[in-house]
């Protein structure tokens, strides 16, 4: 029997390893930028083309490498970070396994130029599919520049799985943000297709956050600071009123390394309990410093998940630190039962001088004196049958005013009639078309065979969805112009997303003006959107755009219509008058699809007379 097991060739082993390290262009950006940070750089430049598919170039001013080190850096498990297995638990650098450059070189055309500051000449190295095609001496600035071209050129199947340029660029931008936020003392430049997206100078952490996410972020931040023997915590959290329905700006860093931790996220959500709505999420930028030997960062290929020795203590300290910061800066509500609100000075009078109240008396005032041009006060009812007294009521009024005092102008206030589950006998046989609202959540209406119980939220979603989808397809949406245009500030990354969605938004009725680079000017909105809802709608649209990748069958118009209908539909708990209830029922059954919501949820259930009879058997 012949042997079945054999060693894989190096180029095949490298391609398999690349599958774990490099999932998309953003993975290459992460590895190259972290290598630049480990090299002691003070300035890092990132250049991408076509979403990183054509070119990814990272240039730094770090230590540089000798010709021998440059050649060895592309070998598997060649690293300068560790010497023994014990070093894995005392890491102070980003990379340590020596897999990144070898994996990248196996699936792309790589060109490296590097020179130590002490050398006059540097090294140029060209590699294609793990094969070195050229190595020569060259004149290059101090530091290292790595260019990755034609990613997945030798694995067409992997390249076909990449998304569009816009989606890949969004993932690259996310990785850029994570590295830039972890190292505010390093200057970063980001260029895409020849245009500058970010120019971040070396600065403090707070200014770095503001530079990336826009100037309006400054007013949202609440500083967090706590130093213990277990962990040191610093950073910022957003004020509760700025919580959003999407997981937007949420960053955890451990020893200047970005991580994802649902456990730590739960601790932070516990600190915000009672301050935000249940379906919203706060933003945060939190930095944790722990002893390197107390964490294991080698449990995931991308090193974004770590294992802590004492997770429970970390959970409690993080929750307490955030709660303390929210209370210290008067963000958390405080109840003072001993405080008398009647003694508070009104805001409009807080700067006015206090004066003693004065009393004025009119000694000539006579309450029984009739003022000229006014009726005498009617102090008692007139006696029936005396016409002179009745006529006295109309003294001083012309004929037109006398008619308005007739019995036709009298209105009698009646008691409000409320619905009752057990109605009287004359209303039990209600005609078809009558509706009433149940628990401010369902609309109940009768049909010939029984009755319908309609979910008002899902019904309104279906109605709005078909209206918005028709508007985006036919482009006949009606807009209402705003008297005062709205100027909404956004970060550069958010503005880039809005630029991609500009045409679909215009199709549904939004009208945009010429705002500034970091501001969006809205001059018109759809007739179903109020000006107070514009910012909420746009945030929901951007959040859903981040969640949707452009796959086969993906429709931007369909996704936008679903986002708008979910955001603008009436919610459970909204009271609807009978006319609005009937209008919603009529609009629902005028739709092409009435049984399912845009998210494939049932809109209504039918209770026939037979179903009701069974309940009494």
Question: CA–CA distance from 162 to each of 24, 26, 107, 166 (Å)?
Answer: 7, 11, 14, 11
Q: What is the mean pLDDT of residues 385-405?
A: 52
- For residue 371, tell me if it sits in a domain: no
Mean pLDDT of the chain: 81
Question: Are 211 and 204 in contact, with CB atoms under 8 Å apart?
Answer: no
The predicted structure's pLDDT at residue 335:
54
| CATH number for the domain harbouring residue 89 | 3.30.565.10
Considering only CA atoms, which of 63, 69, 56 is closest in space to residue 28?
56
Question: Are 197 and 173 in contact, with CB atoms under 8 Å apart?
Answer: yes
Query: In the chain, how long is the greatest CA-to-CA distance?
Result: 133
The predicted structure's pLDDT at residue 324:
92
The predicted structure's pLDDT at residue 428:
35
- For residue 419, tell me if it sits in a domain: no
Is the predicted pLDDT of residue 377 greater than 60, yes or no?
A: no
One domain, residues 259 and 155: no
Which residues does 322 contact at the CB level (< 8 Å), separation at least 6?
224, 237, 267, 268, 271, 272
- For residue 345, tell me if it sits in a domain: no
The domain in which residue 71 lies consists of 10-200
- For residue 250, tell me if it sits in a domain: yes
Question: CA–CA distance from 554 to each of 81, 551, 557, 558 (Å)?
Answer: 44, 5, 9, 8
One domain, residues 184 and 220: no
Which residue is it, tokens 């006319």? 579
One domain, residues 215 and 156: no
The predicted structure's pLDDT at residue 328:
84
Task: Give the pTM.
Answer: 0.72
Q: Per residue in 120-146, pLDDT tens?
A: 999 999 999 888 999 999 999 999 999
Which residues does 311 contact at the CB level (< 8 Å), separation at least 6?
263
One domain, residues 459 and 561: yes
The predicted structure's pLDDT at residue 316:
94
Q: Per residue in 232-259, pLDDT tens?
A: 999 999 999 888 877 778 999 999 989 9
Q: What is the mean pLDDT of residues 107-131?
A: 93
Handedness of CA 366, 369, 373, 375 (dihedral sign): positive
The predicted structure's pLDDT at residue 421:
38
One domain, residues 209 and 162: no
Final residue before a domain boundary, out of 310, 328, 346: 328
Is the predicted pLDDT of residue 520 greater than 70, yes or no?
A: yes
Q: What is the mean pLDDT of residues 103-114?
A: 92
The predicted structure's pLDDT at residue 408:
47
Question: CA–CA distance from 147 to each of 54, 62, 109, 143, 233 (Å)?
Answer: 10, 16, 8, 14, 37
The predicted structure's pLDDT at residue 221:
93
One domain, residues 521 and 597: yes
- For residue 453, tell me if it sits in a domain: yes
Q: What is the mean pLDDT of residues 347-375?
A: 67
One domain, residues 155 and 212: no
Q: Per residue in 213-229, pLDDT tens?
A: 888 888 899 999 999 99
Domain count along the chain: 3
Dist CA 288 CA 451 (whole Å)? 59
| CATH number for the domain harbouring residue 233 | 3.30.230.10
Q: What is the mean pLDDT of residues 461-490?
A: 86
Residue 151 CB neighbour total at 10 angstroms: 26
The predicted structure's pLDDT at residue 417:
44
- Percent residues over pLDDT 70 in the chain: 78
Question: Are 168 and 25 in contact, with CB atoms under 8 Å apart?
Answer: yes
Dist CA 190 CA 188 (whole Å)? 7
One domain, residues 193 and 210: no
- For residue 379, tell me if it sits in a domain: no
One domain, residues 196 and 232: no
Give SS3 for 236.
strand
Final residue before a domain boundary, out of 284, 306, 328: 328
Q: Per residue in 546-592, pLDDT tens?
A: 666 554 445 778 888 898 899 899 998 899 998 899 999 999 999 99
| CATH number for the domain harbouring residue 594 | 3.30.1370.100
- For residue 613, tell me if it sits in a domain: no
One domain, residues 592 and 457: yes
The predicted structure's pLDDT at residue 139:
93
One domain, residues 39 and 115: yes
One domain, residues 240 and 168: no
Final residue before a domain boundary, out of 299, 328, 357: 328
- For residue 350, tell me if it sits in a domain: no
């Amino acid at each position: 029997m012949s042997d079945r097991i054999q060693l894989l060739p190096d180029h095949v082993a490298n391609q398999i390893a690349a599958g774990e390290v490099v999932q998309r262009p953003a993975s290459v950006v992460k590895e190259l930028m972290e290598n630049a940070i480990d090299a002691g750089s003070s300035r890092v430049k990132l250049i991408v083309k076509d979403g990183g598919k054509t070119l990814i170039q990272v240039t730094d001013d770090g230590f540089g490498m000798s010709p021998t080190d440059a050649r060895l850096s592309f070998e598997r498990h060649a690293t300068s970070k560790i010497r023994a297995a014990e070093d894995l638990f005392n890491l102070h650098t980003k990379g340590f396994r020596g897999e990144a450059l070898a994996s990248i070189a196996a699936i792309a055309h790589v060109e490296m130029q590097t020179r130590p500051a002490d050398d006059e000449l540097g090294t140029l190295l060209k590699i294609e599919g793990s094969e070195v095609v050229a190595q020569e001496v060259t004149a290059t600035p101090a530091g290292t520049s790595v260019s990755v071209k034609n990613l997945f050129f030798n694995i067409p199947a992997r390249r076909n799985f990449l998304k569009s340029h816009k989606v890949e660029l969004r993932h690259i931008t996310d990785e850029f943000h994570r590295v830039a936020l972890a190292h505010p003392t390093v200057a970063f430049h980001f260029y895409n297709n020849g245009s500058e997206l970010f120019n971040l100078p070396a600065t403090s952490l707070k200014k770095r956050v503001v530079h990336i996410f826009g100037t309006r972020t400054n007013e949202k931040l609440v500083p967090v600071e706590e130093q213990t023997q277990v962990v040191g915590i610093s950073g910022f959290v957003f004020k509760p009123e700025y919580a959003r329905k999407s997981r937007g700006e949420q960053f955890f860093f451990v020893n200047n390394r970005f991580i994802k931790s649902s456990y730590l996220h739960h601790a932070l959500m516990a600190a915000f309990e009672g301050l935000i709505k249940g379906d919203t999420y706060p933003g945060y930028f939190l930095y944790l410093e722990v002893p390197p030997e107390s964490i294991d960062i080698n449990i995931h290929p991308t090193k974004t998940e770590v294992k802590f020795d004492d997770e429970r203590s970390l959970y409690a300290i993080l929750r307490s630190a955030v709660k303390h910061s929210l209370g210290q800066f008067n963000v958390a509500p405080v109840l003072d039962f001993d405080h008398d609100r009647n003694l508070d000075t009104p805001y409009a009078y807080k700067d006015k001088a206090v004066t003693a109240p004065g009393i004025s008396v009119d000694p000539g005032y006579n309450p029984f004196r009739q003022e000229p041009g006014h009726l005498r006060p009617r102090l008692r009812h007139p006696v029936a049958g005396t016409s002179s007294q009745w006529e006295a009521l109309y003294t001083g009024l012309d004929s037109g005013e006398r008619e308005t005092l007739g019995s036709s102008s009298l209105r009698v206030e009646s008691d409000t009639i409320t619905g009752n589950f057990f109605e009287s006998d004359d209303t039990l046989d209600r005609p078809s078309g009558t509706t009433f609202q149940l628990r401010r959540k369902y609309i109940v209406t009768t049909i010939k065979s029984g009755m319908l119980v309609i979910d008002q939220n899902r019904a309104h979603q279906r109605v709005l969805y078909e209206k918005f989808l028709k508007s985006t397809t036919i482009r006949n949406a009606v807009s209402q112009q705003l008297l005062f245009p709205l100027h909404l500030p956004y970060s550069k990354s958010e503005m880039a997303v809005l630029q991609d969605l500009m045409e679909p938004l215009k199709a549904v009725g939004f009208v945009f003006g010429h705002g500034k680079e970091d501001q969006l000017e809205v001059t018109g909105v759809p007739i179903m959107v109020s000006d107070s809802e514009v910012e909420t709608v746009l945030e929901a649209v951007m959040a859903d755009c981040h969640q949707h990748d452009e796959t086969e069958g993906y429709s931007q118009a369909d996704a936008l219509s679903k986002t708008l209908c979910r955001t603008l539909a009436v919610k459970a708990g909204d009271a609807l008058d009978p006319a609005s209830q009937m209008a919603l029922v009529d609009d629902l059954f005028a739709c092409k699809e009435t049984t399912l919501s845009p998210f494939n949820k049932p809109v209504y259930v039918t209770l026939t007379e037979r179903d009701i009879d069974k309940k009494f058997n």
